[in-house]
Structure 1
Amino acid sequence: MAAALTAVEAAALLVLGVLELVHLRSIRLTMGVTTTIFFLGAAAALAWCAWALRGVRRWARGPVVMVQLIQLGLAWNLWAGSTKPASAVLAVVGLVVIAGLVHPASTRALEAADEAA
């Protein structure tokens, strides 16, 4: 579940990167290009981590947990007015992924795969 949700997050970042690219304007070209590069790079890194989690590679847990903690902070900041639904989705997904990664069965599987390698 954690790997699948992480892949969904990567897809969302990819969409944000493409949308930013589509809406580039000369008046804010530098900001648009750097934001696009950031979103696409983050999407690629998160997709790689999701793939690694699916393959039961222990190294991917740290970066994914870090992203979820950042996401929880973002959810906290968005908890007001019309952004409340987006905040709730971000918080639930972040908590589910963290719970999945620290679950004893996940920890055993990741440690067993690391010892076997």
Structure 2
Amino acid sequence: MPVSSRIPLGIAAVVVALQGLVFIALAVLDLAGLVPGRIAVGVGIGVLLLILGAGLVAAAVGLVRGAHVARGPVVVAQLIGLGLAWSLRNPDANTGDNRAVGIAIAVSALVVLACLATGPARRALADDHGE
């Protein structure tokens, strides 16, 4: 992999790995704070967060290796993140003011998408170079 593609892919991989680690941490916190009467919901959400986190970490490893199959899941995850960030743009009476969380999600998603949109990254992740 050329040096010119390592930088944007490396930045994207670090951000995606951090996103995945946040999901894993949220899963652990969710599973550690199970409430009687809502065990099934808590376990379901915890397992889902764990799977999402592990998937993002695996995709980050794929980006570092230049695996073209990592591109699709990463892009989809970032687009979902932008939608989530948009939904957090206004304070909610039930959950409070989550605009800072929304901004963090949006900025990280935009950084990853911008890195993946660079020419060197697109060429490195192209699936038509003899694989």
Q: TM-score range by the shorter chain?
A: over 0.9
1:28 is matched with which residue?
38
Unaligned 5+ runs, structure 1: none
Question: How many angstroms apart in 2 are the aligned matches of 1:60 and 1:49?
Answer: 5
Once the two structures are TM-superposed, the CA of residue 114 in structure 1 deviates from its matched residue by 5.6
Is 2:98 the counterpart of 1:88? no
Question: How many angstroms apart in 2 are the aligned matches of 1:68 and 1:35?
Answer: 20
Question: How many angstroms apart in 1 are the aligned matches of 2:125 and 2:98?
Answer: 36
2:121 is matched with which residue?
106
Question: How many angstroms apart in 2 are the aligned matches of 1:116 and 1:96?
Answer: 29
2:94 is matched with which residue?
none
Question: How many angstroms apart in 1 are the aligned matches of 2:49 and 2:12?
Answer: 20
Once the two structures are TM-superposed, the CA of residue 58 in structure 1 deviates from its matched residue by 0.6
Helix, strand or coil for the counterpart of 2:34? coil
* Larger helix proportion of the pair: 1
Instruction: Using structure 2 for the length normalisation, give the TM-score.
Output: 0.84
Contact 1:57 1:114 (8 Å CA) reproduced: no
Instruction: Using structure 1 for the length normalisation, give the TM-score.
Output: 0.94
1:72 is matched with which residue?
82
Question: How many angstroms apart in 1 are the aligned matches of 2:23 and 2:113?
Answer: 19
Question: How many angstroms apart in 1 are the aligned matches of 2:128 and 2:102?
Answer: 35
Unaligned 5+ runs, structure 2: 1-10, 92-96
Question: Matched residue pairs, number?
Answer: 116
Percentage of matched positions with identical amino acids: 36
Following TM superposition, the consecutive aligned residue runs of length 4 or more in structure 1 with deviations greater than 4 angstroms are none
